[in-house]
């Protein structure tokens, strides 16, 4: 929920880097609906196609696709053992957090 994220964010060191915060309880719709992603893009003044959405769940990739945002599926995070990210149709699969910084090496998305 957004209220918990607002409590944790200042202690994480990421507060100054966070331009917008949208939790599962912030809007009338939740992922996989595209509204949270579209609202975030609008709030920071960036076209959805110019964003890249990174997720660890299929609903993240579905939301990105519905919002016309390029998507990255990470192979770590909160997933069930039988969940297969390669089936989610993300634009890019990333197996290590460090690889997120190497966007220039990704296929064109």
Residue 102 has pLDDT above 90, yes or no: no
pTM, entire model: 0.88
DSSP state of 67: T
Q: Could you read off the pLDDT of 3-33 as tens digits, one per residue?
A: 999 999 999 998 898 999 999 999 999 999 9
Residue 109 has pLDDT above 80, yes or no: no
What per-residue confidence (pLDDT) applies to 42?
98
Residue with tokens 């939740």: 30
Backbone angles phi, psi at 97, to 5 degrees: -55, -35
Q: Could you read off the pLDDT of 48-101 as tens digits, one per residue?
A: 999 999 999 999 999 999 999 999 999 998 888 889 999 999 999 999 988 888
What per-residue confidence (pLDDT) applies to 58?
96
| Domains of the chain, start order | 2-105 (3.40.50.1000)
CA distances from 4 to 40, 65, 108 (A): 18, 27, 36
């Amino acid at each position: 929920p957004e209220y918990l994220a607002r409590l944790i964010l200042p202690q994480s060191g990421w507060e100054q880097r966070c331009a917008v915060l949208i939790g599962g309880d912030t809007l009338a719709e939740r992922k996989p609906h595209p509204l949270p992603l579209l609202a975030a893009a609008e709030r920071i003044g960036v076209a959805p196609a110019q964003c890249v959405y990174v997720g660890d769940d299929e609903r993240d990739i579905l939301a990105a696709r519905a919002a016309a945002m390029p998507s990255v599926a990470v192979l770590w995070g909160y997933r069930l053992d039988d969940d297969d990210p390669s089936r989610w149709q993300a634009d890019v699969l990333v197996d290590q957090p460090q690889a997120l910084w190497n966007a220039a090496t990704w296929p064109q998305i």
